[in-house]
């Protein structure tokens, strides 16, 4: 058997699409001319798509329609990147927001978490534990916090407008297992429908090798 010591595996990017717009319809999404997501509804994620690095035209149409896209833009995917691309904001202002999911150094018995603010009518927030310990400060709409390491266990998190104790979101019974990387996505509307809520998918960096 011959082994080429100069062989390099072709670089790829891994991209997950996420519908985070509270008033946008379900959509079909195209990368270039390829349909990559069909009937993606609010709060839904695709699987990670393996794509060649490069710049792509990205279009989103109401499901079953191929004219008048609600999104028509370009995104560039770097080699060996893992990311989630969220369609965020109200429909009239909808845009794609990429959030990279880097590989982080392993810490025994711990996981990494971060918070992404995708609620268009919620002010900047602080994210805390019920005992008052603050995890993330002053996270504004469309922003992502840095990752922080946390111990395994079951948590309750609370969101309050920055600098206040007026809790606008309380999320109990969040079980965090070790050796994972998680993003907490806040979606929906404060005092509206769909209501403000948090989705906690596992980041692809937890299990995808690049």
Rounded to two decimals, the pTM is 0.94
Nearest of 173, 47, 179, 31 to residue 107 by alpha carbon: 179
HSE-up (13 A, CA, CB side) for residue 194:
18
Cα–Cα distance measured from residue 184 to residue 152, given in angstroms and rounded to the nearest whole number: 16
Residue 166 has pLDDT above 60, yes or no: yes
- Residue 2: pLDDT band (50, 70, 90) is very low
Domain 1-100 and domain 104-205 have a common topology: yes
DSSP 165: -
Residue ranges with strand state E in the chain: 13-19, 27-31, 34-40, 49-51, 54-62, 71-77, 82-88, 95-100, 110-117, 125-128, 134-139, 148-151, 153-161, 169-176, 181-187, 197-199
- Give CATH for domain 1-100: 2.60.40.1120
Query: Does residue 45 sit in helix, strand or coil?
Result: strand
Is the domain spanning 104-205 CATH 2.60.40.1120? The answer is yes
Cα–Cα distance measured from residue 33 to residue 138, given in angstroms and rounded to the nearest whole number: 39
194: cis peptide before it, omega within 30°?
yes
Q: What is the mean pLDDT of residues 123-131?
A: 97
Q: In the numeric block, which tokens belong to residue 199? A: 């989705």
87-115 pLDDT, tens per residue? 999 999 999 999 999 999 999 999 999 99
Residue 7 has pLDDT above 50, yes or no: no
128-164 pLDDT, tens per residue? 999 999 999 999 999 999 999 999 999 999 999 999 9
Q: In the numeric block, which tokens belong to residue 203? A: 């980041």
What are the structural domain ranges in the chain? 1-100, 104-205
Contact 170, 158 (CB under 8 A): yes
Cα–Cα distance measured from residue 116 to residue 112, given in angstroms and rounded to the nearest whole number: 14
187-205 pLDDT, tens per residue? 999 988 999 999 999 999 9
Contact 70, 88 (CB under 8 A): no
């Amino acid at each position: 058997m011959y082994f080429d010591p100069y062989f390099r595996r072709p670089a790829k990017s891994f991209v997950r699409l996420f519908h985070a717009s509270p008033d946008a319809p379900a959509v079909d999404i195209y990368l270039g001319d390829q349909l990559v997501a069909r009937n993606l509804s609010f709060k839904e994620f695709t699987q990670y798509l393996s794509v060649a690095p490069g710049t792509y035209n990205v279009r989103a149409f109401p499901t079953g329609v191929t004219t008048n896209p609600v999104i028509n833009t370009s995104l560039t995917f770097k080699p060996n990147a893992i990311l989630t691309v969220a369609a965020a904001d109200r429909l009239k202002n909808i845009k794609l927001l990429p959030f990279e999911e880097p590989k982080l150094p392993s810490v025994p018995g711990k996981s990494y978490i971060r918070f992404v603010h995708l609620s268009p009518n919620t002010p900047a927030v602080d994210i805390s534990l019920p005992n008052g310990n603050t995890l993330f400060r002053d996270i504004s709409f469309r922003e992502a916090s840095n990752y922080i390491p946390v111990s395994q266990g079951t948590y309750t998190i609370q969101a309050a407008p920055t600098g206040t104790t007026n809790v606008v979101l309380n999320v109990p019974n969040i079980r965090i297992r070790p050796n994972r990387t998680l993003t907490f996505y806040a979606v929906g509307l404060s005092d509206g429908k769909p209501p403000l809520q948090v989705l906690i998918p596992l980041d692809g960096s937890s299990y995808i090798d690049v």
